[in-house]
Amino acid sequence: MNPTPIQSAPLDANGRQGLALAGVFQAAAVVDQLARTGQCDERAWNTLIRATLETNPETFEAVYGGHHNNLRLGIDTLQAVMSRRQSEATVMRYGFSMILLMQKLRDDAAMMNTLGERLSRIQGQAEHFGETHENVIASLGELYQETLSTFRYRIVVQGEPSLLQSPMMPERIRTALLGGVRFALLWHQQGGRRWRLIFQRGAIKRALQQLDAH
């Protein structure tokens, strides 16, 4: 049995928006890692899958497992982006592309319903096999391919061609993208808006920095 996760300090609106946005950029960083190296940060990967399958969380914190360090890769990536220290433009592009996909998804009620119904079935798979089992990843990847990737706007992933074509790699990348869109939805639910990002950047940076002070 897993121990009860240690909880982060209480979050204000900027903190919740910041962590949700960090989830988006965690997915972006994981996609980039997978596409370039074939591997990724395991804790970051597990958190993305957990968040995707947690469709009815009791609390905001439950989405990412209760502690902000589960989003450490995303926090570090987002802080670099907001400080304009992120030299890898590809990760930034993935992040903002997932936010754009989220906005298109919110305008498509039928697709939202399909995602909800299919995720409920995949949750049953996860309970049987485990959240990171290949069968679960294959189902999540297929769900992304049959829903979000049907929009005219599609995310083009750049990386090592041989890795991108290796067994299960397309499914893993699509699963990470699905996780990023899930966090983008969470960000929107917490009041996040693209047009506000330029004005809220300082407040979100401070909120993320304060997490590590507790």
Whether residue 192 lies inside any domain: the answer is: yes
Whether residue 2 lies inside any domain: the answer is: no
Whether residue 7 lies inside any domain: the answer is: no
pLDDT tens digits, 150-209 = 999 999 999 999 999 999 999 999 999 999 999 999 999 999 988 777 777 888 888 888
Whether residue 3 lies inside any domain: the answer is: no
Domain count, the chain: 1
Report whether 18 contacts 202 (CB < 8 A): no
User: Which domain does 84 fall in, by range?
Assistant: 13-211
We report the CATH number of the domain holding residue 124 as 1.10.3890.10
Residue 4 has pLDDT above 50, yes or no: no
Supply 98's token pair: 């997932």
**What torsion do the CA atoms of 72, 77, 83, 84 make, to the nearest 10 degrees?**
170
Where are the extended beta strands (E) located within 79-154?
none
Whether residue 76 lies inside any domain: the answer is: yes
Rounded Cα gap, residues 88 and 83, in angstroms: 13
Whether residue 204 lies inside any domain: the answer is: yes
pTM of structure: 0.92
pLDDT tens digits, 79-106 = 888 877 756 789 999 999 999 999 999 9
Whether residue 43 lies inside any domain: the answer is: yes
What percentage of the chain carries pLDDT values higher than 70?
A: 93
pLDDT tens digits, 53-68 = 999 999 999 999 999 9
Whether residue 68 lies inside any domain: the answer is: yes
